[in-house]
Amino acid sequence: MKKIIVAIDGFSSCGKSTIAKALAKHAGYRYVDTGAMYRSVALYTIENKPAEMAVEPFLEQHIGELNIDFSVQPDGSQHTLLNGRDVEALIRTLEVGNMASQVSTIGFVRRAMVAQQQAMGREGGIVMDGRDIGTVVFPNAELKLFLTASPEIRAERRFKELEAKGEHPVMEEVLADVNDRDYRDTHRAESPMHQTEDAVVVDNSYMTPAEQMDYVIRVFEERIKEQK
């Protein structure tokens, strides 16, 4: 059976990675979290950039030194590796998320990440999630999903995630952060996020995870059957 490319795009805190991981497991495909790649660039910047230097010139000098990869853990989960170091926990903070939003607006950073992502998907059999997967990375993906949910519901989900990590979030700030990030993701000059006409839209505001999963698996199986 042909192994296809599944491109999943959508706003932050929409549950993209949950659905992408579950679909990859169902299909026996590789899962790639492209947000983790921009987050790794962000972490590298936070840890290494001299205070007196601006982000863009710093990355212009150092982007070639970053090697981002993923390792599969014994429990099947994936951890992000930055130059061989496991940074999975470190890249999930609000601070790194905000810097990731900034570095992901830089054209040469995006081109470096997109080239790595396209190389990972060359053979098909991949589920990749991000903001530009169906538009820039794999415009010919056999299946494109566009996930969305209301900003309030996404802020609530993020609030709970941060609390579970031991952080002390303030709801108004989390909601403002979700709105700011949506604005930046959809209005930046380089590869702004947008829904393509051929994407299947999944609004999961009022769907349970199980309902969403059933729906996405059904769409995937139908698309597989259509392949020659």
Residue ranges that bind ligand DC, judged by CB under 6 A: 12, 34-35, 38-39, 97, 100-101, 104, 130-132, 181, 185
Nearer Cβ to ligand DC (35/220): 35
Relative orientation angle of helices 107-120 and 55-62, to the nearest 10 degrees: 40
Nearer Cβ to ligand DC (124/192): 192
Please give the distance of CA 108 from its chain centroid, rounded to a whole number: 18
Shortest Å, Cβ 225 to ligand DC = 28
Nearer Cβ to ligand DC (187/218): 187
Shortest Å, Cβ 40 to ligand DC = 10
Closest residue by Cα to residue 21 from 36, 43, 40, 11: 36
Shortest Å, Cβ 221 to ligand DC = 26
Nearer Cβ to ligand DC (4/113): 113
**HEC sequence for 148-210:** ECCHHHHHHHHHHHHHHCCCCCCHHHHHHHHHHHHHHHHHCCCCCCCCCCCCEEEECCCCCHH
Shortest Å, Cβ 70 to ligand DC = 13
